[in-house]
Each structure stands twice: as C-alpha cells, then as structure tokens.
Amino acid sequence: MKIYFAGSIRGGRDDAPLYFKIIEELKQYGEVLTEHIGDSALSGMGEERTSKDIFDRDMQWVKASDVVVAEVTQPSLGVGYEIGQAEAMGKRILALYRETEGKRLSAMIGGNGYVTVQAYCDIDDARKVLGDFFTK
C-alpha cells in the first residue's frame, strides 16, 4: 500500500516531531511516499526546489497513493489542497486532528462527509486511530 502523509510545512513546523512519529507508525501499513514531512531539518521555508517542482512531484505522489493521511491540527493551505485533490481522485482519506486549546478544526474538513476525521490526544491515541483505520 502506498500512503501519502500530509502535514504542514510552510504553515508552521511546530508539529514536525509528531509527524515523524506518525510516519514511523504508518510504515507498518505500507510505503510512506512523503517521509520528508517528518524531517526536523525541513524548515517552514520548505524545500530547496521550485514551487512548480514541489507541486508536480506531490500531485504525482497523491495520484500514486492508495490512501491519504493528513495531520490537520496546524492549518495549512497545502494540506487542504491535497485533501481536496485526493477526494477528487477518489482516494481514501483520514484526517487526524489533535484537540488543542485555542484551535478548531476547519469546517471544510470537519464538515466533509467524504473525509474520515478522527480526533486524538497523543501519539498513543494516534496509533489506535491508525490501526482502526487500516484494518477496516
């Protein structure tokens, strides 16, 4: 199984250590095409590629994926776009949202009946959510 993991880059990298842990967990279910999202060396400035190169590569990865898992706690235009494109392609989508004081899940994700949205508190919770999602 090919998994596209989406998480904020230019929208903020505060959750990069969490992304790394989620990606490590996802590896037991298949090949994660976007391991670099969890790289702590990747800053909020993004990669040393043109925006066009990143767009083309990432859209190819979304197309090649069997499932998209997005961590949506940190708002990100790019992640929202990837979710929309994945939906248009008929991909199975899981949006993980960590309930955090002062933050609310986007209504465009939370109100979308196509996207499976799961709240979680910590990495142990996320592991259970992923296990349930991938065994269905």
Q: What is the pLDDT of residue 61?
A: 97
> What domains sit in the chain, N to C, each tagged with a CATH number?
2-134 (3.40.50.450)
CA distance 59 to 61: 5
Q: What is the pLDDT of residue 25?
A: 97
Q: What is the pLDDT of residue 101?
A: 85
- Core vs surface per residue 45-70: b (16+ CB within 10 A) or e: eeeeeeeeeeeeebeebbeebebbbb
Q: What is the pLDDT of residue 132?
A: 97
pTM over cut 0.75:
yes
DSSP letter (8 states) at residue 71: E
Q: What is the pLDDT of residue 31?
A: 98
Cα-flanking dihedrals φ and ψ of residue 3, to 5°?
-115, 130
pLDDT averages per 10-residue partition of the chain, 136 residues: 92 86 97 87 69 94 98 94 98 95 91 97 96 94
